[in-house]
């Protein structure tokens, strides 16, 4: 069963890992967000693609939610001592990946080709595609100004209320090679429990991706990123309250605007009415077994 999963970082990567575990090898394609990519110390960092790669390779730090397990921070400390920027924490092991990617980008290789090589280096059967090879950056509009995503999220600890989210470069971006084809050939499409504004929004903003999902003849299932109306991690509940008017399943479903055949919600959000069929399950993925269980529920809803 060929499945395409659109995913952001931390929460999305947990479902991706579950899908990867329960599907036959090679049946999963992940389309990842690049809107929160950032340049730090001259290195190109793709946090969401990296969260997916690290989770699939079993290299991720479960506790922190991003970056690698058994990480050390000596490079960052040394860079700080030389007067370098240290607002965005790059671990020593993590830096290795950014060095390899940045060198290849400078050589002119597309991000999709680089990501394919990185996935091959850790022998992943799952295909990981950036939504686009073009430069697309999420910007956060607040009353204090407009900030790059990481500047707001990490630098300002996502404390400013968000008035709007914009996707710089989206209008002229094209889907990365393989994205539209994977959506066209999929037996099911899954929208991971990622922040709709800043993780899935930038993917939908690439012309051709939402349209390809709209054209599908297969089921499209989303997993709500909220549990009991609260974000498991991050600012989504505040963003939804301010920009969509609430944090019920109906508010989550409204973001996907006619694309969904079902929304998987946590038992803590049921009963509810969302204008789409709801599947009630336990959606907290606090270990690998929970990721597999939720992936199984999603795949049942998708068939
Ligand atoms: N998140 C933080 O809150 N602080 C950091 O210093 C930080 C560094 C970082 C480095 C590499 C990486 O792949 C992710 C990193 N993240 C950090 C997480 C990241 O900002 C967000 O989780 C995602 O961009 C949101 O999807």
pLDDT of the chain along its 303 residues, tens only?
999 999 999 999 999 999 999 999 999 999 999 999 999 999 999 999 999 999 999 999 999 999 999 999 999 999 999 999 999 999 999 999 999 999 999 999 999 999 999 999 999 999 999 999 999 999 999 999 999 999 999 999 999 999 999 999 999 999 999 999 999 999 999 999 999 999 999 999 999 999 999 999 999 999 999 999 999 989 999 999 999 999 999 999 999 988 999 999 999 999 999 999 999 999 999 999 999 999 999 999 999
Q: How many domains does the chain have?
A: 1
pLDDT of residue 285: 97
Whether the CB of 154 sits within 6 Å of ligand 1: yes
pLDDT of residue 258: 85
Mutate to test the pocket of ligand 1, among 154, 192, 234, 236 (most ligand atoms within 8 A of CB): 154
State the SS3 of the chain. Answer: CCEEEEECCHHHHHHHHHHHHHCCCCCEEEEECCCCCEEECCEEECHHHHHHHHHHHCCECCCCCCCECCCCCHHHHHHHHCCCCCCCCCCHHHHHHHHHHHHHHHHCCCHHHHHHHHHHHCCCCCEEEECECCCCEEEEEECCEEEEHHHHHHHCCCCCCCCEEEEECHHHCCECCCHHHHHHHCCEEEECCCCHHHHHHHHHCCCCHHHHHHCCCCEEEEECCEECCEECCCCHHHHHHHHHCCCCHHHHHHHHCCCCCEEEEEHHHCCCCCCCCEEEECCCCCCHHHHHHHHHHHHHHCC
Provide the residue range defining the domain that includes 41: 3-301
CATH number at residue 239: 3.40.50.10680
Smallest CA separation from ligand 1 atom 21, residue: 47
pLDDT of residue 257: 85
């Amino acid at each position: 069963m060929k499945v395409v999963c659109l995913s952001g970082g931390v929460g999305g990567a947990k479902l991706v890992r579950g899908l990867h575990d329960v599907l036959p090898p090679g049946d999963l394609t992940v389309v990842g967000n690049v809107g929160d990519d950032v340049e730090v110390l001259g290195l190109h960092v793709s946090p969401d693609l990296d969260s997916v790669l690290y989770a699939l390779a079993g290299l991720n730090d479960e506790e922190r939610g991003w970056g690698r397990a058994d990480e050390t921070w000596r490079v960052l400390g040394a860079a700080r001592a030389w007067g370098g920027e240290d607002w965005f924490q790059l671990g020593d092991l993590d830096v290795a990946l950014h060095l390899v990617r940045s060198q290849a980008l400078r050589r002119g290789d597309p991000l999709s080709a680089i990501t394919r090589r990185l996935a091959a280096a850790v022998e992943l059967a799952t295909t990981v595609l950036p939504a686009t090879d073009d430069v697309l950056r999420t910007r956060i509009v607040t009353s204090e100004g407009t900030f790059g995503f990481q500047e707001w999220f990490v630098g300002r600890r996502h404390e400013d209320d968000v008035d709007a989210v914009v996707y710089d470069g989206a209008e002229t971006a094209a889907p990365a090679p393989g994205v539209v084809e994977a959506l066209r050939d999929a037996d099911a499409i899954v929208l991971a429990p990622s922040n709709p504004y800043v993780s899935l929004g930038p993917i939908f903003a690439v012309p051709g991706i939402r349209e390809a999902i709209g054209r599908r003849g297969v089921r499209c299932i989303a997993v709500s990123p909220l549990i009991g109306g609260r974000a498991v991690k991050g600012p989504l509940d505040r963003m939804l309250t301010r920009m969509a008017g609430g944090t019920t399943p109906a508010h989550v479903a409204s973001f996907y605007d006619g694309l969904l055949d079902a929304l998987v919600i946590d038992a803590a959000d049921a009963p509810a009415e969302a204008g789409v069929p709801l599947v009630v399950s336990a959606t907290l993925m606090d270990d690998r077994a929970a990721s597999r269980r939720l992936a199984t529920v999603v795949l049942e809803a998708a068939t």
